[in-house]
C-alpha cells in the first residue's frame, strides 16, 4: 500500500539536485587530487632535507675528526720539542694551519647548507 501525499519532486528540481551532487563530487575529487600532490611535494622536500642533514652531519663529524687528529699531532710534536723556541714555532704553525682549516670547513659547511636549502626548495616546486 502506498500513501500519496500529493507532493511530487518536479523533474527540473531532481535534475538540478543530481547536477549539484555531481559537481560537488567532481570538486571533492579535484580537491583530493590537489591535496595528494601537495602532500607528495612536502614528503619529497622532507626527504631532501633529511638527506642533506645527514650529509651535513657526516661532513661536520669528518671535520671534527680532522681537527682532533691535528690537535693530537700537535701535542705529540710539542712533547718532543727541544726548546721554547721550537714550541713557539710549532704553536704558530699549528694556529695558522687551524685557522686556515677552520675557514675552509666553514665555507664547505656553508656551501653544503646552501645546497641543502636549494635542494629542499627544488623538491617543493611542482613538476611540469
Is-contact 41 126, C-beta < 8 A?
yes
Describe the crossing of helices 11-80 and 84-124 by its angle, rounded to 10 degrees. Answer: 170
Query: Per mean pLDDT, which range of 18-27, 34-43, 74-83, 100-109 is the poorest?
Result: 34-43
Q: Give the chain's length.
A: 128
Is-contact 99 70, C-beta < 8 A?
no
Confidence of residue 3 (pLDDT cuts 50, 70, 90): low
Whole-angstrom distance, CA of residue 62 vs CA of residue 25: 55
Question: What pTM, to 2 d.p., does this model score?
Answer: 0.62
Q: Where are the domains of the chain?
A: 12-124
Quick: pLDDT tens for 103-124.
Answer: 999 999 999 888 887 877 777 6
Return the residue matching grid coordinates 500519496: 4
Taking residue 64's Cβ as centre, other Cβ atoms within 10 Å add up to 11
Is-contact 80 68, C-beta < 8 A?
no
Amino acid at each position: 500500500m502506498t500513501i500519496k501525499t500529493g507532493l511530487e519532486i518536479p523533474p527540473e528540481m531532481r535534475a538540478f539536485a543530481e547536477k549539484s551532487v555531481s559537481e560537488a563530487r567532481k570538486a571533492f575529487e579535484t580537491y583530493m587530487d590537489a591535496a595528494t600532490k601537495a602532500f607528495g611535494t612536502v614528503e619529497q622536500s622532507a626527504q631532501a632535507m633529511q638527506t642533506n642533514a645527514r650529509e651535513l652531519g657526516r661532513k661536520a663529524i669528518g671535520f671534527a675528526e680532522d681537527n682532533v687528529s691535528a690537535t693530537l699531532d700537535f701535542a705529540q710534536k710539542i712533547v718532543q720539542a727541544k726548546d721554547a723556541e721550537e714550541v713557539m714555532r710549532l704553536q704558530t704553525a699549528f694556529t695558522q694551519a687551524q685557522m686556515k682549516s677552520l675557514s675552509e670547513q666553514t665555507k664547505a659547511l656553508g656551501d653544503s647548507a646552501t645546497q641543502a636549502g636549494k635542494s629542499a626548495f627544488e623538491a617543493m616546486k611542482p613538476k611540469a
